[in-house]
């Protein structure tokens, strides 16, 4: 990715052939997979990975700086998108 102009990568809950990705809570599951449990016993989501809805479609937004800060987590997220044929784009 290493493009200085890219500030975020968006994984869209739509496959490359236009079908909506299932299960419908995939974005929550994915962001929970990289979350931690804090001393307060609550789930703490990664500050550089967020769930959003864009035009009615569940998406995961990744801060591009994650590639440098935590390359393993970054690769995990992009590999998830690739292995499930999910649309991705940058902003």
Model pLDDT for residues 62-90, shown as the tens digit of each residue: 999 999 999 999 999 999 999 999 999 99
DSSP string for residues in 27-70: HHHHHHHT-EE-TTS-EE--TTEEEEEETTEEEEEEETTHHHH-
Model pLDDT for residues 4-46, shown as the tens digit of each residue: 588 999 999 999 999 999 999 999 999 999 999 999 999 999 9
Task: Say what the pLDDT of residue 6 is.
Answer: 87
pLDDT above 70: residue 1: no
């Amino acid at each position: 990715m290493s493009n200085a102009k890219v500030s975020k990568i968006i994984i869209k809950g739509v496959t490359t052939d236009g079908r909506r990705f299932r299960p419908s809570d995939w974005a929550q599951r994915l962001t929970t997979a990289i979350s931690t449990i804090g001393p307060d016993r609550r789930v703490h989501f990664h500050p550089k990975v967020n769930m959003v809805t864009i035009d009615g479609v569940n998406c995961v937004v990744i801060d591009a700086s994650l590639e440098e800060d935590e390359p393993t987590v970054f690769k995990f997220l992009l590999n998830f998108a690739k292995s499930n044929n999910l649309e991705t784009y940058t902003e």
